[in-house]
């Protein structure tokens, strides 16, 4: 395990105090619902943009992007290449719509188009999704800290959950946006410093990376062929288009940033800043992963500078902890050596980057990079808490329980919602400590099924003006059924998937749009009315 000295603690502690300070600073400006949820609609576009970027780059991405290029290649980077397409659609169509709307809810449109059920479906799924997402983000941030530094994972989870809930509660969306902006800067600086040290340790610097990458085709973006069973360039691109339409077009956390911006022009600038900033930064993380491939001796062309055996121990320790074994017991130690020797190379990716940070970076800078990992988790979590509280107040409390609620009543709901969702997300992250990866995988499968349905329904409402409530219900059922079939059905002989998993959400959204569009044709409507 690596040491974390007083200087590192000072840096990390200063970061946590700064986040709490931001919450306290914006407390007075967040004492009414408009200030808490929309920041008075006067936030600069560049702040909204950095917040969008920081939310997009969660702790999962911070560790996983480098891990993917370490174990494989740059094929997942194609996902980022879809962003300009979807950003243009959002800038051209979604932002004007939300800016004209008086609601801070992304799902008010669904009710206008298809009735109450659609709004409840969209808002309800988002609220449940955010609890699980908060838990996963916090858990995957804390687990490396336990394995590498020996920290108590329960303490890390509770402390992080309390801090992020506190500043979200105190300062509302203004605290979330401005803390995200600072966190975005910390993330980028931290990544650049890491790359500097990696290249500095390699015999030929960047040339060593190129040499190692060429031998193993690490810069490949995937096949340009028409295949649908593997992650080709086109499969990842189409998947990225659908997912990013969902992010930029119907995700409550992004919509609130559009609404909070000082003007429609500022909202557009913020969207483009966040979207376009993510592309080079994601490329930076992919390059870090390729550089780590060279650093740890992944290619015979470059001598290893890092100890890959220690990374195997980290992964093995993480797996044993997820099985419920206590690291301080003899059974854990007895199994550790055996498990370390059997860890597959493809399982090392997410742990390589944290290991490098812990072993190579000097004290002080080590604290900064750990703060960057916390920043990636906290930016995503704080956004989820504020947007969830907003939906609780607008889509449920005011809509069903108290339509004539006063500002003070709504503020109570907003604050209770922030604390409640923070507590539930943190509590679920503690539950994950004793669960296996299969549970997490199951959740993401379910989320993918429901998320595709919500995205398809929303796009149907936007693009097919003739679609009615019965048509929307039918199309959504067909879409969800289609996604479920492609998700769970396996080819009888080979037990293989019908298509690559990335294509399932694409197929689900297209199914809803196709059924909705066909059913809305005048000829079909005429036949239906006669029947």
Inter-CA distances, 406 with 27, 234, 493, Å: 20, 51, 62
What pLDDT does 491 receive?
64
What pLDDT does 61 receive?
72
Three-class SS state of 282: helix
Angle at 17 between CA 388 and CA 390, to 5 degrees: 10
| CATH superfamily, domain at 6-435 | Sodium/glucose cotransporter (1.20.1730.10)
pLDDT class of 78 with cuts at 50, 70, 90? very high
| Cα first-last separation, the chain | 72
What pLDDT does 349 receive?
76
Does residue 369 register a pLDDT over 60? yes
Inter-CA distances, 80 with 4, 67, 83, 230, 348, Å: 34, 16, 5, 18, 23
Three-class SS state of 364: coil
Contact (Cβ atoms closer than 8 angstroms) between residue 343 and residue 337:
no
Range 332-339 average pLDDT: 82
Range 33-40 average pLDDT: 86
**What is d(CA 185, CA 444) in angstroms, rounded to the nearest whole number?**
29
pTM, to two decimals = 0.86
What pLDDT does 141 receive?
81
C-alpha neighbours within 13 Å on the C-beta side of residue 211:
16
Phi and psi, residue 327, nearest 5°: -60, -20
What pLDDT does 60 receive?
65
By the 10 Å C-beta count (0-12 exposed, 13-18 middle, 19+ buried), 473 is classed as middle
Contact (Cβ atoms closer than 8 angstroms) between residue 422 and residue 383:
no
What pLDDT does 529 receive?
63
Does residue 288 register a pLDDT over 90? yes
What pLDDT does 397 receive?
92
More confident residue, 530 or 194: 194
What pLDDT does 187 receive?
83
Mean pLDDT, the chain, rounded, equals: 85
**What is d(CA 177, CA 98) in angstroms, rounded to the nearest whole number?**
18
The domain segmentation of the chain, as residue ranges, is 6-435, 437-531
What pLDDT does 364 receive?
87
CB atoms within 10 A of CB 282: 21
The pLDDT tens digits of the residues spanning 253-267 come to 888 889 889 899 999
Does residue 422 register a pLDDT over 90? yes
Range 177-202 average pLDDT: 88
What pLDDT does 196 receive?
93
The pLDDT tens digits of the residues spanning 347-367 come to 777 788 888 888 888 888 888
């Amino acid at each position: 395990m690596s040491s974390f000295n007083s200087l590192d603690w000072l840096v990390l502690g200063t970061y946590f105090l700064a986040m709490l300070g931001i919450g306290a600073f914006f407390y007075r400006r967040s004492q009414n619902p408009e200030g808490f949820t929309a920041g008075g609609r006067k936030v600069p576009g560049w702040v909204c943009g950095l917040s969008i970027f920081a939310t997009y780059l969660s702790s999962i991405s911070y560790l996983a992007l480098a891990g993917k290029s370490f174990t494989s290649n740059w094929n997942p980077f194609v996902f980022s290449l879809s962003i300009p397409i979807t950003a243009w659609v959002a800038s051209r169509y979604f932002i004007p719509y939300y800016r004209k709307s008086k609601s801070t809810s992304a799902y008010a449109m669904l009710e206008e188009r298809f009735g109450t059920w659609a709004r409840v479906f969209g808002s309800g799924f988002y609220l449940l999704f955010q609890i699980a997402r908060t838990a996963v983000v916090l858990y995957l941030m804390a687990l490396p800290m336990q394995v590498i530094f020996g920290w108590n994972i329960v303490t890390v989870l509770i402390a992080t959950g309390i801090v992020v809930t506190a500043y979200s509660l105190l300062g509302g969306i203004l605290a979330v946006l401005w803390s995200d902006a600072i966190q975005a800067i910390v993330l980028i600086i931290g990544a650049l410093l890491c790359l500097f040290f990696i290249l500095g340790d390699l015999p030929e610097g960047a040339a060593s990376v190129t040499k190692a990458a060429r031998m193993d085709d690490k810069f490949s973006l995937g096949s340009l062929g028409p295949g649908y069973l593997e992650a080709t360039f086109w499969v990842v691109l189409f998947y990225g288009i659908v997912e990013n339409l969902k992010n930029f077009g119907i995700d409550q956390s992004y919509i609130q940033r559009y609404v909070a911006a000082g003007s429609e022009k500022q909202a557009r600038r913020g969207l483009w800043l966040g979207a376009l900033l993510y592309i080079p930064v994601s490329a930076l993380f992919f390059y870090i992963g390729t550089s780590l491939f060279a650093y740890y001796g992944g290619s015979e062309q470059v001598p290893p500078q890092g100890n890959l055996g220690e990374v195997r121990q980290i992964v093995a320790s993480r797996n044993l902890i997820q099985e419920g074994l206590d690291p301080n017991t003899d059974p854990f130690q007895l199994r550790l050596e055996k498990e370390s020797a059997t860890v597959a190379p493809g399982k090392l990716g997410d742990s390589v980057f944290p290991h490098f940070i812990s072993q190579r970076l000097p004290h002080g800078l080590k604290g900064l990079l750990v703060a960057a990992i916390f920043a990636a988790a906290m930016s995503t979590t704080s956004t989820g808490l504020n947007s969830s509280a907003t939906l609780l107040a607008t889509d449920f409390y005011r809509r069903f329980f108290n339509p004539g609620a006063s500002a003070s009543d709504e503020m109570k709901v907003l604050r209770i919602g922030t604390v409640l969702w923070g507590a539930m997300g943190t509590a679920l992250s503690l539950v994950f400590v004793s669960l296996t990866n299969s549970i997490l995988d199951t959740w993401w499968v379910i989320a993918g099924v429901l998320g595709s349905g919500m995205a398809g329904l929303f796009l149907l409402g936007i693009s097919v003006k003739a679609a009615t409530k019965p048509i929307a219900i039918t199309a959504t059922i067909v879409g969800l059924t289609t996604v479920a079939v492609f998700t769970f059905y396996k080819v009888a002989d080979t037990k293989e998937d019908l298509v690559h998993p990335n294509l399932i959400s694409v197929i689900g959204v297209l199914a809803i749009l196709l059924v909705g569009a066909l059913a809305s044709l005048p000829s079909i409507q005429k036949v239906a009315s006669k029947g």
